[in-house]
């Protein structure tokens, strides 16, 4: 019986508590979430409380796993046991709210944090800025940037990159470039993620030649283009009806053994746009041969391509395969399916299949 065991000395108990907390943190670091949770449950059952660092890691783990409710419960549990959350604890939970777009909850937590004398740092502000950018509330994000400056906090590469990406997606290229220059002026070196955001913005605004020149500028600073960089350029060339140049980049990538599902999907879309359905179909078949498996986006892209190209028979074959793979149709593909339901040349079985996608 546990009650009959000799009690450890206070020193031994503290050492045991430290060892258990270290073990839980080790499990979390190794991604052993279930085992860590089981050990935590056993600790609490025996009235043994983990340290603040362990609590913070648990909260961070649940937030990154999308389980913000569980993270909130742990936060409440630790405060009820007398633990005072630190900047790491607050930031972990706040980031969880922001990743889920729960900005009202994030703001409340920020207010609570300040009330309890815990000053937000650059990580906290960057999480909030990211949350507002993802929620398409860029003005709020820009306001937080000004607040950072007012509080004497210097934005880091992540802060600037987040804003630049959001501005580019909102077609505010001029302001995005201003922040890019401001970032460099403050001694921060843009990484490949920052550069890619700018490139994507240029391609979205039909500035493909400027994007190509920007890649050369990027390389001159020592930043190496990655697969995303090349995919952005490929998409830009396809949208500009310059398929040959997109094919050249794709051939360059595959020659290096770089087989990426996004790159394949972009090329399939490019071929479909030009009415080269046979080429698109060949590329789809080549993907798996090269160990690159089509995803949901790939299927939506090629199915729409065949529907638009009036090859309904092949489109329906792909729809059946899409159903087997349990992929969902996106809104654009659904719209294409609606048009097929009134086609007298499509049999009832295929129409029933299309309706299943509409129901989902």
Q: What is the DSSP string of 287-317?
A: HHHTT----HHHHHHHHHHHHHTT-HHHHHH
Percent of the chain with pLDDT over 70: 86
Out of 2.30.30.140, 1.20.1250.20, 1.25.40.10, 3.30.360.10, select the CATH number for domain 14-151: 1.25.40.10
Of 92 and 28, the structure prediction assigns the larger pLDDT to: 92
User: What's the confidence (pLDDT) of residue 10?
Assistant: 39
Residue 283, classed as helix, strand or coil, is helix
Q: Which helix (H) or strand (E) holds 107?
A: helix 103-115
Which of 8-22, 139-153, 266-280 bottoms out in mean pLDDT, i.e. has the lowest?
8-22
pLDDT of 117 over the 60 cut: yes
pLDDT tens track for 197-206: 999 999 999 9
Rounded CA gap, 232 and 238, in Å?
10
pLDDT of 134 over the 60 cut: yes
pLDDT of 261 over the 90 cut: yes
Contact by Cβ (8 Å): 132, 144: yes
pLDDT of 187 over the 90 cut: yes
User: What's the confidence (pLDDT) of residue 81?
Assistant: 84
CA distances from 27 to 15, 21, 65 (A): 18, 10, 15
- Domain ranges in the chain? 14-151
Which of 60-69, 201-210, 284-293, 294-303 bottoms out in mean pLDDT, i.e. has the lowest?
60-69
Tokens of 189: 């070196």
Contact by Cβ (8 Å): 298, 264: yes
Q: How confident is the model at residue 57 (pLDDT cuts 50, 70, 90)?
A: confident
User: What's the confidence (pLDDT) of residue 60?
Assistant: 87
Residues 6+ apart with CB under 8 A from 222: none
User: What's the confidence (pLDDT) of residue 28?
Assistant: 61
Q: How confident is the model at residue 289 (pLDDT cuts 50, 70, 90)?
A: very high
Of 95 and 9, the structure prediction assigns the larger pLDDT to: 95
User: What's the confidence (pLDDT) of residue 74?
Assistant: 87
* pLDDT, averaged across the chain: 89
Which of 39-43, 314-318, 324-328 bottoms out in mean pLDDT, i.e. has the lowest?
39-43
Which of 3-12, 50-59, 315-324 bottoms out in mean pLDDT, i.e. has the lowest?
3-12
User: What's the confidence (pLDDT) of residue 6?
Assistant: 47
> Considering all CA atoms of the chain, what is the largest pairwise distance in Å, rounded to the nearest integer?
84
pLDDT tens track for 217-258: 999 999 999 999 999 999 999 999 999 999 999 999 999 999
Q: How confident is the model at residue 22 (pLDDT cuts 50, 70, 90)?
A: low
pLDDT of 64 over the 70 cut: yes
pLDDT of 15 over the 80 cut: no
Rounded CA gap, 299 and 61, in Å?
33
User: What's the confidence (pLDDT) of residue 4?
Assistant: 44
């Amino acid at each position: 019986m546990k009650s009959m065991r000799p009690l450890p000395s206070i020193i031994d108990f503290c050492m045991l508590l430290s060892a258990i907390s270290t073990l839980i943190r080790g499990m979390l670091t190794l991604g052993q979430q279930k085992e860590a949770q089981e050990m935590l449950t056993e600790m609490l059952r025996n009235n043994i409380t983990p340290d603040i660092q362990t609590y913070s890691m648990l909260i961070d783990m649940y937030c990154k796993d999308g389980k913000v409710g569980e993270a909130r419960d742990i936060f409440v549990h630790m405060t009820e046991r007398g633990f005072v959350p630190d900047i790491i604890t607050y930031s972990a939970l706040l980031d969880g709210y922001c990743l889920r777009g729960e900005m009202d909850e994030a703001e409340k937590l920020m207010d609570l944090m300040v009330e309890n004398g815990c000053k937000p740092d650059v990580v906290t502000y960057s999480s909030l800025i990211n949350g507002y950018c993802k929620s398409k509330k860029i003005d709020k994000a820009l306001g937080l940037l000004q607040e950072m400056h007012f509080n004497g906090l210097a934005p880091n590469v992540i802060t600037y990159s987040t804003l630049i990406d959001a501005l580019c997606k909102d077609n505010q290229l001029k302001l995005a470039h201003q922040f890019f220059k401001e970032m460099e002026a403050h001694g921060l070196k843009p990484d490949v993620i920052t550069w890619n955001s700018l490139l994507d913005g240029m391609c979205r605004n039909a500035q493909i030649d400027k994007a190509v020149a920007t890649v050369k500028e990027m390389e001159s600073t020592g930043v190496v283009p990655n697969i995303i960089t090349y995919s952005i350029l490929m998409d830009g060339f396809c949208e500009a009806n310059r398929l040959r140049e997109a094919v050249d980049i794709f051939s360059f990538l595959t020659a290096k053994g770089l087989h990426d599902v996004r790159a394949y999907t972009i090329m399939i879309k490019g071929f479909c746009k030009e009415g080269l359905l046979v080429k698109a179909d060949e590329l789809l078949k080549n993907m798996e041969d090269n160990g690159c498996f089509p995803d949901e986006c790939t299927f939506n892209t090629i199915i729409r391509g065949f529907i638009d190209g009036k090859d309904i028979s092949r489109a329906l074959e792909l729809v059946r395969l899409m159903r087997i793979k349990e992929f969902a149709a996106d809104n654009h593909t659904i719209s294409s399916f609606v048009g097929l339901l009134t086609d007298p040349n499509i049999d009832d079985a295929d129409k029933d299949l299309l309706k299943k996608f509409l129901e989902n």
